[in-house]
């Protein structure tokens, strides 16, 4: 019997991942697969995979050689960008581990071989997820700009200050890109944050 891991993620603390778990458990049961671990995390999708404890735990389990399949509800659970998703897919494929994506009913491997349809779908779906996040971010920024034009105050209330260490930890990927020599604009695009946020990080470094 194949052994599998169920991996779920939600991006907000108030969101609940138990429905994802129940759905994926049911799928595993219909496929006669033994679930040996369930990994769940509540973390923003804009965090890099290196900053995500859940995805790192998943990769570590897979590298140990005892797993043959990973269940996820959506491809976007595997990374914040197309590149990150495909990196996970490529590594697990090299390890001989198939990824099952519930909402499309596709797997990356068929009889131990790459499923070209799934590979193509993963690329498209990961890119769609990235574009959706960018569109949402643009809408938020546009709404904030409109509020400013109307004279509304945006940001923290007067008299509140976020400590330097806390702020830099929150935007660790921004700090790393700046230290690596990337421009403010390029860093903002890669990390999916505002240019003002990147400038603030740069000032604090």
The model's pLDDT over 18-69, given as tens digits with 9 standing for 90+, comes to: 888 999 999 999 999 999 999 988 766 567 777 788 889 999 999 998 899 9
Task: Give me the domain span that covers residue 200.
Answer: 161-205
Confidence of residue 157 (pLDDT cuts 50, 70, 90): low
Task: Answer yes or no: is 142 within a domain.
Answer: no
* Residues 27 and 118 reside in one and the same domain: yes
Task: Answer yes or no: is 150 within a domain.
Answer: no
Task: Answer yes or no: is 82 within a domain.
Answer: yes
CA–CA separation, 100 vs 72, rounded Å?
A: 6
- Helix or strand holding residue 99 (H, E): strand 98-101
* Residues 22 and 120 reside in one and the same domain: yes
Q: Minimum mean pLDDT among 84-93, 115-124, 136-145, 170-179: which range? A: 136-145
Task: Answer yes or no: is 197 within a domain.
Answer: yes
Count of H helices and E strands in the chain? Answer: 8, 7
Task: Answer yes or no: is 156 within a domain.
Answer: no
* Residues 118 and 177 reside in one and the same domain: no
pLDDT tens digits, one per residue of 58-96:
999 999 988 999 999 988 888 877 778 888 888 999 999
| Torsion of the alpha carbons at 93, 94, 97 and 99, rounded to the nearest 10 | -20
**Tokens found for residue 56:** 């790192």
Domain end (from 127, 142, 171): 127
* Residues 20 and 69 reside in one and the same domain: yes
* Cβ neighbours of residue 25 closer than 8 Å, sequence gap 6 or more: 6, 35
Domain end (from 127, 151, 178): 127
Task: Answer yes or no: is 68 within a domain.
Answer: yes
Task: Answer yes or no: is 146 within a domain.
Answer: no
- The answer to whether the pTM exceeds 0.95 is no
CATH number of the domain residue 31 falls in? 3.40.50.1390
Domain end (from 74, 108, 127): 127
Task: Answer yes or no: is 169 within a domain.
Answer: yes
* Residues 116 and 188 reside in one and the same domain: no
Q: How far is CA 197 from CA 11, 56, 137, 177, in A?
A: 20, 27, 14, 13
Q: How many domains does the chain have?
A: 2
* Residues 175 and 77 reside in one and the same domain: no
* Residues 166 and 120 reside in one and the same domain: no
* Residues 108 and 176 reside in one and the same domain: no
């Amino acid at each position: 019997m194949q052994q599998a891991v169920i991996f779920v993620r939600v991006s907000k603390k108030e969101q609940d991942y138990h429905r994802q778990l129940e759905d994926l458990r049911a799928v595993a049961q219909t496929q006669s697969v033994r679930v040996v671990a369930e990994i769940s995390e509540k973390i923003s999708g804009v965090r890099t995979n290196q900053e995500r404890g859940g995805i790192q735990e998943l990769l570590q389990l897979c590298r140990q050689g005892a797993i043959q399949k990973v269940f996820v509800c959506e491809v976007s659970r595997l990374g914040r960008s197309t590149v990150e998703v495909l990196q996970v897919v490529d590594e697990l494929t090299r390890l001989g581990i198939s990824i099952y994506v519930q909402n499309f009913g596709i797997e990356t491997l068929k009889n131990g071989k790459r499923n070209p349809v799934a590979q193509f779908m993963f690329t498209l779906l990961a890119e769609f997820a990235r574009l959706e996040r960018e569109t949402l971010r643009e809408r938020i920024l546009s709404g904030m700009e409109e509020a400013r034009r109307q004279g509304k105050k945006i940001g923290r209330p007067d008299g509140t200050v976020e400590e330097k260490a806390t702020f830099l930890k929150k935007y660790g990927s921004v700090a790393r890109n700046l230290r690596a020599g990337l421009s403010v604009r390029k860093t903002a695009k890669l990390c999916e944050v505002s240019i003002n946020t990147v400038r603030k990080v740069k000032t604090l470094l």
